[in-house]
Amino acid sequence: MRITEPIDELADAAEQVIAGNLDMEVPVRRGEEFEGLKNAFNEMLRNIRKITSGPS
């Protein structure tokens, strides 16, 4: 794996979110260097989906 691959995955995910795709998640591999950041990104997406879906 290239050292920049996790960063590239996050950048691609951010571009998808900017384009309006909130139904995606960043793949997280246990033990990778950016595991915490990817988990935080996915949690942010889950929260955005909750907010934009309105009251339950």
Would you list the domain boundaries of the chain? 5-53
Would you say 34 and 4 are in contact if contact means Cβ atoms under 8 Å apart? Answer: no
Q: Would you say 6 and 33 are in contact if contact means Cβ atoms under 8 Å apart?
A: yes
- pLDDT tops 70 at residue 56: no
5-53 is a CATH 1.10.8 domain? yes
Please tell me the predicted confidence (pLDDT) of residue 41.
97
pLDDT at residue 10, rounded to an integer: 95
What pLDDT shows up at residue 14? Answer: 96
pLDDT tens, 12-52?
Answer: 999 999 999 999 999 998 998 899 999 999 999 999 999 99
Question: Do 37 and 14 touch, CB atoms closer than 8 A?
Answer: no
Direct distance between the N- and C-terminal alpha carbons of the chain, in angstroms, rounded to an integer = 41
In this predicted structure, what is the pLDDT of residue 1? 61
Q: Give every CB contact of residue 10 below 8 A, 6+ residues apart in sequence.
A: 26, 34, 37, 38, 41
pLDDT of residue 55: 74
